[in-house]
């Protein structure tokens, strides 16, 4: 499905329409051929579909008053989202419940059924991002107490070629969720290898790094990019 923004003429379009994919990069809008990928029914896809069905079932069993609190939370101006065309929108309390339940599961924490009451965390101050090829260490470093004891770290990352590379859309191609121990750095070699195999020198990594509280509420991202090192 494509979304578009109308002006005197169409000023922007994102998504798929027929056999075309519309997007944009630093050089401007572009369009390329697109075909629907095969439904390979991978283990990951099957797990995600089963999880969504489970969340829907759990939502129906939540007290009506608590569901109303989720809807109130979702309607708060602080929960405003912005799509790829810069248009503001809101999602339902149920979808916020699904988001936060998923984010809590990512770091291994128990789900919550009542709407969040804690303030949205501020974005983490990341000092350094390093992504390394081979057996070298890939890590983020940050000021002490940035995450512990009340905040977890989640990272979304994508990797592509660096030659002529422009800013890439961040998709959760690699999603790391950690209950972060005390310290000033966090390594993610295991997660990197599990998602991408061996990265090589000359590639480029784009990352969004979030601070997540104990209710699953995420901060705005700290966005970074770096060339893969030896």
Band (pLDDT 50/70/90 cuts) for residue 40 is low
Residue 125 pLDDT:
94
Average confidence (pLDDT) over 46-54: 65
Mean pLDDT of the chain: 81
What is residue 4's predicted lDDT score, i.e. its pLDDT?
47
Q: Percent of the chain beyond pLDDT 70?
A: 72
- The number of residues making up the chain comes to 230
Is the per-residue pLDDT at 94 higher than 80?
Answer: yes
**Where is pLDDT greater, at 196 or 213?**
213
Question: Residue 194 pLDDT > 80, yes or no?
Answer: yes
Break the chain into its structural domains and give their ranges: 2-33, 43-106, 126-227
Residue 1 has pLDDT above 90, yes or no: no
Write down the pLDDT at residue 53: 79
Mean per-residue pLDDT, 172-194: 81
List beta partners, residue 5: 12
The CATH number of domain 126-227, selected from 3.30.420, 3.30.160, 2.60.40, 3.40.710: 2.60.40
Closest CA to 229 of 202, 208, 209: 202
pLDDT the model gives residue 193: 86
- Name the pLDDT band for 220 (thresholds 50, 70, 90): very high
Amino acid 35: pLDDT = 54
């Amino acid at each position: 499905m494509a979304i578009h923004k109308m002006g005197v003429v169409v000023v922007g379009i994102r998504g798929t329409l027929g056999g075309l994919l519309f997007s944009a990069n630093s050089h401007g809008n572009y369009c390329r051929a697109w075909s629907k990928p095969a439904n390979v029914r991978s283990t990951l896809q099957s797990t995600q579909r089963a999880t969504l069905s489970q969340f829907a079932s759990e939502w129906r069993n939540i007290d009506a008053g608590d569901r109303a609190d989720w809807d109130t939370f979702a309607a708060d101006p602080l929960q405003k989202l912005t799509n790829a065309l810069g248009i503001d929108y809101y999602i339902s309390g149920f979808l916020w419940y699904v988001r936060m339940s998923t984010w809590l599961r990512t770091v291994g924490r128990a789900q919550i059924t009542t709407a969040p009451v804690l303030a949205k965390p501020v974005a983490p101050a990341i000092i350094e991002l390093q992504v390394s090829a081979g057996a070298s260490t890939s890590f983020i470093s940050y000021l002490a107490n940035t995450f512990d004891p009340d905040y977890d770290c989640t990272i979304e990352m994508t990797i592509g070629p660096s030659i002529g590379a422009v800013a890439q859309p961040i998709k959760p191609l690699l999603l790391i969720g950690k209950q972060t121990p005390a310290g000033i750095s966090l390594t993610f070699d295991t997660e990197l290898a599990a998602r991408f195999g061996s990265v090589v020198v000359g590639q480029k990594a784009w990352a969004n790094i979030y601070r997540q509280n104990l209710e699953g509420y995420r901060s705005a991202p700290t966005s970074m990019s770096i060339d893969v090192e030896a």
